[in-house]
Amino acid sequence: MWYSRTSFNRSLCFLIILGWFGTLAHAAKPNFVIFFADDLAYGDLSSYGHPTINTPHIDGLARDGLQLTSFYSGAAVCSPARAALLTGRYPLHAGMPRNTGPGSDVHMDRDQIILPQILRKAGYASMAVGKWHLGHQDASLLPVGRGFDRFYGLPYSNDMIKPWVQTDLPMHLYDDADPVEEVGHEQDHLTVRYTETAVSFIEEQADSNTPFLLYLAYSMPHLPVHAAPERQGTSTAGRYGDVIETIDWSVGQVLEMLDQAGIADNTLVVFTSDNGPWHNLPKRMLAAGNERWHSGNAGPLKGAKGSTHEGGFRVPGLFRFPGVIAAGSRSPEMASTIDLFPTLAHLAKVEIPDDHALDGHNLLPFLQGKEPSPRTEFLYSQGSLFEAVRHGPWKLRIGGREPEIELYHLDRDPSEMYNVAERYPERVAELRDALKARAAHFGAGLRELAE
């Protein structure tokens, strides 16, 4: 077909404008970086009160964004916590109430929809770096089989080899679905290699102007702890401090790449952890150089990893998104890793299927300081049991080996030192009814009270 010069120029201008708007709309989609540490406790960062560990890069997220002091992981152990974050559901609802490992047939249900699958609909590239721990039995259960475009890391925890776990199966570092290198006791460079991979991924996506999700799930400070050689012996807090400060260095490298690529202002950065410190570790872990003090500090909180006390579930929660989240913000209101799925989906402007129920909430208006947190309830699970529920400042717990009714006002008593159940029987009855109702809804069990 023949065009006049005028009509050609008009058509060309229209195509240029259309392309410009398309590029603008694509570039306007925010990027997402989620740092997910393993066993890093509530009090392990200097911004959360640690007196001797120095974490300037992570603390910078608090300075430039929002620090939450009632932020909860979806579980107090590894696999369930990861399932909760990536599905926006409580672990039992996500089909992953317990851990998996070498020789285990446990994996996250194949029909679960996870975050990268939703974001892919909006044109996002995605990469999982670090620890997976949601299924490894075949390629379809690894990150690249579950919606991530790329994967570089370990299939489960870094201790799942002898002498700590009695298995003859080797542990491999994976590149996508391919085991490329056996990993043993020498893990000093693991965090460094994760970091280099994450930085390269960001650079590639920035060069191609593609919005992305980077899920950087560190293998540490889960035991055995290892730090980069140049950072060994540098922390006042000893070997454990070296490990946390190596993670802080890693966060700094990723943030620097965001700055260099010119995309820091269009990137939501989240730093958190999967659960509290492994204080109650089994004797099997005290081998090959591990010590009991190679674990974290829950600060003022009672309990540890695996516990439904606050020290098991409450973790650091730092959010930075320039121009969206006010710098230097701090809030004691509740939020959870379970809320990340709906929040990121909303920011990416992608619809969640109507028949796919989530347990999380869109946090954006809260993060912007426009509304209170939509999370007014949190459920504390222990495998397939619900042991506690929090409503506002009140927490009811019926857990432990010899369960009794415990009631705490967490705003006044975050350390759970003072059980006030006898003083407030009506509050106990209200929360106990709520716990029973929520357990019935999710098909969870409850602890039987001791006689």
Q: Closest Cα to residue 296, out of 20, 38, 57?
A: 38
The pLDDT-based confidence of 451 (bands split at 50, 70, 90) is low
The confidence band for 1, taking pLDDT boundaries of 50, 70 and 90, is very low
Cα distances (angstroms) measured from residue 113 to each of 84, 108, 298, 399: 11, 10, 32, 31
Please give the helix or strand (H or E) that residue 87 lies within, else none: helix 78-87
pLDDT for 2 beyond 90: no
Joined tokens for residue 58: 């992570």
- pLDDT for residue 60 is more than 50: yes
- What percent of the chain shows pLDDT beyond 70? 94
Reduce the secondary structure of 307-354 to three states and give it as a string.
CCCHHHHECCEEEECCCCCCCCEEEEEEEEHHHHHHHHHHHCCCCCCC
Whether pLDDT at 309 is above 50: yes
Number of other residues whose CB lies within 10 A of the CB of residue 390: 24
Q: How far is the C-alpha of 226 from the C-alpha of 218, rounded, in Å?
A: 12
Position 7 confidence tier, pLDDT thresholds 50, 70, 90: very low
Which DSSP string corresponds to 209-235? T--EEEEEE---SSSSP---GGGTT--
pLDDT at position 449, please?
Answer: 86
What pLDDT is recorded for position 24? 39
Q: Which of 140, 81, 109 is nearest to 381 (CA)?
A: 81
Check: CB of residue 44 under 8 Å from CB of residue 290: no
- 395-433 b/e (C-beta count within 10 Å ≥ 16 → b): bbbbbeeeeebbbbbbeebbbbeeeebeeeeebbeebbe
The pLDDT of residue 13 is above 70? no
Of the candidates 275, 213, 178, which has an alpha carbon nearest to the alpha carbon of residue 32? 213
What's the rounded Cα separation, in Å, for the pair 444 and 199?
Answer: 41
How large is the average pLDDT for residues 275-302? 94
- Given a cut of 80, whether residue 211 has pLDDT beyond it is yes
> Are residues 445 and 385 in contact, defined by beta-carbon separation less than 8 angstroms?
yes
Please say if the pLDDT value at position 420 is more than 80: yes
Provide mean pLDDT across the span 202-210: 96
Above 60 in pLDDT, residue 342?
A: yes
Task: Please report the pLDDT score of residue 265 as a whole number.
Answer: 97
- What is the pLDDT confidence band of residue 16, given thresholds at 50, 70 and 90? very low
| Rounded Cα distance, 336 and 359, in Å | 10
Q: pLDDT-derived band of residue 28, with 50, 70 and 90 as boundaries?
A: confident
As a whole number, mean pLDDT of residues 226-231 equals 92
Domain boundaries, the chain: 28-372, 384-442
pLDDT for 289 beyond 50? yes
Question: Residue 6: which pLDDT band, with cuts at 50, 70 and 90?
Answer: very low
pLDDT, one tens digit per residue, over 373-389 is 999 999 999 999 999 99
Average pLDDT over residues 153-167: 96
Residue 74, pLDDT score: 98
Q: What is the DSSP letter of 141?
A: G
pLDDT of 338 > 50? The answer is yes
| 290 Cβ contact partners less than 8 Å away, ≥ 6 residues apart | 164, 223, 224, 225
Confidence of residue 450 (pLDDT cuts 50, 70, 90): low
* Chain mean pLDDT for the chain: 93
Report whether the peptide linkage leading into residue 221 is cis, meaning its omega lies within 30 degrees of zero. yes
* 28-372 against 384-442: fold identical: no
Confidence of residue 21 (pLDDT cuts 50, 70, 90): very low
What pLDDT is recorded for position 189? 96
Q: With a cut of 90, say whether residue 144 has pLDDT above it.
A: yes
Fold of 384-442: Arylsulfatase, C-terminal domain (3.30.1120)
Predicted pLDDT of residue 400: 83
Q: What is the CATH number of domain 28-372?
A: 3.40.720.10
How much is the pLDDT for 55?
A: 98
Specify the pLDDT at position 401: 83
pTM: 0.93
- Which of these ranges, 67-71, 287-291, 314-318, 431-435, has the smallest mean pLDDT? 287-291
In the predicted structure, residue 19 carries a pLDDT above the cut 70 = no
Q: Which residues are catalytic?
A: 78, 133
Pairing, β 317-320 against β 66-72: antiparallel
* Angle, vertex CA 74, rays to CA 148 and CA 98, nearest 5: 80
